[in-house]
Amino acid sequence: MSSRRTSVTAFFRRPFGVRTRQPDAHELARAERATGTHPGHPAALGPHVALFGNFGTGNLGNDGSLEAMLIALRELRPDLRLTCICPGPERVREDHHLRALPMDWPRPDRGLVHLVNKALGKLPGKLVDLVQTLRQTKGIDALVVPGTGLLDDTGERPSGIPYALFRACFAARIRGAKVAFVSVGAGSIRHPLSRWLLKRAIGLAHYRSFRDTLSKECLARIGCTCDADPVYPDIAFRLPSPPHGARREGAPLTVGLGVMAYGGWRDEAESRAIYRTYVGKLVQFVLWLLDRGHRVRLLMGETRDQRAVDDLVAAVTAKRPVLAAAWLEAEPARSLHELMRQIAETDIVVATRFHNIICALKLGRPTVSLGYSPRHDALMEDMGLGAFCQHVETFDVAALVDQFARLLARRGDCERCLAERNRAYEEQLRRQDGLLAATLFALPEKAASSRQGQRSASCSRHRK
């Protein structure tokens, strides 16, 4: 009995009973030195900003949004101290050399604490999460939620992201910190408790902007008053574009095909059927492209999409082994930068994942969307490509072939239109940076915009 009491006491003396390995002081110091944020560094005198989101889980779009926000914040205030609160802190530390903390208390999967937590409906764990978040937000000056479609409970229980977001905003306000939602996306929020949590989280913000009007409409349906909140482009549009050379004369057309391990959000049997139909249609389209002498490059947006890539390659290789070996490319991407580098080597793109489409449009590639939400159609419409959309679950291969042919025929006009829209997006995002600086750091908007303009001009000269 005595040994058990000792072990339980020792457990609670650990930082919230964490059993998984946490970074030691030396590892955190190395990460902090890499970003100039350790306490002894001269640059560590500025505000402390915590970024909150679903980062480090293998979703390239989410991690790209984090990077875009880091770029914006560092341009506004190079002396910032930055921390990320997310589900995948290890990957964020590795990829961004950033101090990162776990979003939730890592639950033990066995032992007395596990049994007690389970017996009490997991309430103790949720209370520990709240205490942990209060500790994590101690000393911060601002909490920033950068981009992504976080305001959605599709595939999420209320106790997941909705609760985590609410307690982060609540803890930040308790600590006297500013809260900002920057170009965030919203979708369907079905569960009553998720609605309550997300509505309260949004209501705690000092600054809010959305990436499309559809997001504002979704929140209006759950009772949020956000009519006066601005709409700005997805912050991934401010990521730097990779260098790419001019297309060689006479080279075969390269088509980027963004695939997804898509099965909808249904029961397991129906999801499997949806996935098989989706991949089968893509196989037909790839065969049509290869038979016409086009090169095909497969694109991913999340690590789990490798399954769809493998299934598609196997099916195409079985039917056209010679053509597949010569003209079908499939290279995994670990970051949005790698994905954009791959897209830069294509001439036209057909894609499903939202940030595959964003990257293609940002790089000026004529694009067909096989999307799964209204936000795909809204973005394509805003980019002048509203006629080139189909839904992922109902798209017709013959219609896709027709859209592809029409898009190819007007490729030059499309590229010029996309270049113009991208310039407008960059200007809008610069304006948002000024507003954000005024809200979080009390910098005059004009001064912040001027600083950003100077940095952007310097970067442009450097790229040239």
Q: What is the DSSP annotation of 354-404?
A: HHHHHHHHHTT--EEEEESSHHHHHHHHHTT-TTSEEETTT--HHHHHHHH
What CA–CA distances, in Å, run from 118 to 110, 123, 193, 343? 10, 8, 20, 47
What pLDDT does residue 108 have?
Answer: 58
The widest CA-to-CA distance across the chain, in whole angstroms, is 80
What pLDDT does residue 125 have?
Answer: 63
Residue 180 has pLDDT above 60, yes or no: yes
Q: What is the mean pLDDT of residues 375-392?
A: 96
What pLDDT does residue 461 have?
Answer: 43
Q: What is the mean pLDDT of residues 41-58?
A: 82
What pLDDT does residue 128 have?
Answer: 78
Instruction: Render the burial of 3-18: b for 16+ CB within 10 Å, e for the rest.
Output: eeeeeeeebeeeebbe
What is the 8-class DSSP label of residue 85?
Answer: E
CATH number of 254-417: 3.40.50.2000
The mean-pLDDT minimum among 265-269, 382-386, 432-436 falls in 265-269
Integer Cα distance of 360 and 264 in angstroms: 23
What pLDDT does residue 44 have?
Answer: 52
What is the 8-class DSSP label of residue 416?
Answer: H
Polymer length in residues for the chain: 464
Integer Cα distance of 417 and 212 in angstroms: 20
Q: How many CB atoms lie within 10 A of CB 414?
A: 21
What pLDDT does residue 240 have?
Answer: 92
3-state secondary structure of 100: strand
What CA–CA distances, in Å, run from 356 to 55, 109, 171, 392? 17, 36, 34, 14
Integer Cα distance of 223 and 217 in angstroms: 10
Q: Is the Cβ–Cβ distance between 363 and 369 less than 8 Å?
A: no
What pLDDT does residue 124 have?
Answer: 65
3-state secondary structure of 353: coil
- Decide which of 421 and 449 is more confident: 421
Residue 19 has pLDDT above 80, yes or no: no
Q: Is the Cβ–Cβ distance between 298 and 283 less than 8 Å?
A: no
* DSSP string for 156-167: --TTTHHHHHHH
What pLDDT does residue 116 have?
Answer: 57
What pLDDT does residue 156 have?
Answer: 86
Q: What is the mean pLDDT of residues 347-365?
A: 96
User: Do 254-417 and 2-231 have the same topology in CATH?
Assistant: yes
- Decide which of 27 and 347 is more confident: 347
Q: Would you state the structure tokens that stand for residue 206, as one six-digit string?
A: 């000092």
Q: Would you state the structure tokens that stand for residue 119, as one six-digit string?
A: 């017996």
Q: What is the pLDDT of residues 101-154, one digit of tens each?
A: 999 877 656 666 556 556 656 666 677 788 889 999 999 999 999 999 999 988
The residue to which tokens 């038979």 are assigned? 291
Indicate the pairing of strand 81-86 with strand 389-391: unpaired
Domain 2-231 listed as CATH 3.40.50? yes
What pLDDT does residue 250 have?
Answer: 72
Residue 49, judged by CB atoms within 10 A of its CB (0-12, 13-18, 19+), counts as buried
Integer Cα distance of 314 and 321 in angstroms: 9
Q: Would you state the structure tokens that stand for residue 121, as one six-digit string?
A: 């409906």
Confidence label for 25 from pLDDT (cuts 50, 70 and 90): very low
- Decide which of 456 and 78 is more confident: 78
Q: Would you state the structure tokens that stand for residue 141, as one six-digit string?
A: 């000056």
Position 383, amino acid: M
Q: How many CB atoms lie within 10 A of CB 69?
A: 27
| Strands lying side by side in the sheet with 142-146 | 99-102, 81-86, 48-52, 142-146, 178-184, 207-210
Strands of 317-433, DSSP E: 328-330, 348-351, 367-371, 389-391
Average pLDDT score, the chain: 85
Chain-centroid distance of CA 247 in Å reads 30
Chain-centroid distance of CA 106 in Å reads 23
Q: What is the pLDDT of residues 246-263, one digit of tens each?
A: 666 678 999 999 999 999
What pLDDT does residue 154 have?
Answer: 83
Q: What is the pLDDT of residues 274-324, one digit of tens each?
A: 999 999 999 999 999 999 999 999 999 998 999 999 999 999 999 999 999
What pLDDT does residue 432 have?
Answer: 95
Integer Cα distance of 276 and 374 in angstroms: 23
Residue 54, C-beta contacts closer than 8 angstroms, at least 6 positions apart: 62, 86, 87, 148, 150, 161
- Decide which of 457 and 147 is more confident: 147
Domain map (residue ranges) of the chain: 2-231, 254-417
Percent of the chain with pLDDT over 70: 80
The helix or strand, by DSSP H or E, that contains position 146, with its residue range, turns out to be strand 142-146
Confidence label for 444 from pLDDT (cuts 50, 70 and 90): low
What CA–CA distances, in Å, run from 64 to 27, 55, 130, 239, 324? 24, 9, 27, 8, 31
Integer Cα distance of 256 and 267 in angstroms: 31
What pLDDT does residue 1 have?
Answer: 41
Q: What is the mean pLDDT of residues 28-36?
A: 47
Confidence label for 454 from pLDDT (cuts 50, 70 and 90): very low
Integer Cα distance of 38 and 55 in angstroms: 22
Q: 146 has which bridge partners?
A: 182
What pLDDT does residue 267 have?
Answer: 80
- Decide which of 381 and 45 is more confident: 381
Q: How many CB atoms lie within 10 A of CB 371?
A: 22
Q: 254 has which bridge partners?
A: 295
What pLDDT does residue 115 have?
Answer: 63
What pLDDT does residue 117 have?
Answer: 57
Q: 350 has which bridge partners?
A: 257, 368
Q: What is the mean pLDDT of residues 204-229?
A: 93
CA end-to-end span of the chain: 72
